[in-house]
Amino acid sequence: MEKLTQTVQSGDWKQEKHVPSIHAEKSGENLDIKVYIGEEIAHPNTLEHHIAWIKVFFKPEEGKFPIEVGSYNFQAHGESDILSIPCVETKIKADKGTVYALSYCNIHGLWENSLEVK
């Protein structure tokens, strides 16, 4: 039996329109996080082919497991296209660790990326 984790795809977000790009910047005691799908190569985002959701996780440097810090659904379907742009921003109380992003394309499945923050 295939595990869900075996279906998650990854790659270079500068070469593939489905891989979440992650930007994280320290702001005092907080971490500002931005996740974008299609930053370098735009995702079509039509009714037939769109990003349905993005989830953001953070694993503290000394932590054992990642913590879900955001879950974003894109359900603003129009007649011929989707109006939402798959880009999310959040701010968390964190310092060092790893930011993970997971996204779902209705045609091409699950995609992931991560960014270590020092």
Could you say which of 3, 17, 23, 89 is catalytic?
17
Q: What residues are paired with 110 via a beta bridge?
A: 104
Main-chain dihedrals φ then ψ at residue 47, nearest 5 degrees: -60, -35
Catalytic status, residue 105: yes
Contact between 9 and 43 (Cβ < 8 Å): no
Per-residue CA distances from 78 to 43, 81, 83 (Å)? 16, 5, 7
Catalytic status, residue 26: no
Could you say which of 34, 59, 87, 108 is catalytic?
108
Could you say which of 43, 50, 55, 112 is catalytic?
43
Q: What is the DSSP letter of 17?
A: T
Could you say which of 34, 49, 59, 87 is catalytic?
49
Could you say which of 39, 50, 55, 105 is catalytic?
105
Catalytic status, residue 18: yes
Catalytic status, residue 23: no
User: Nearest CA to 16 among 87, 91, 98, 112?
Assistant: 112
The number of beta carbons lying within 10 Å of the beta carbon of residue 73 is 11
Catalytic residues: 16-18, 43, 49, 105, 108
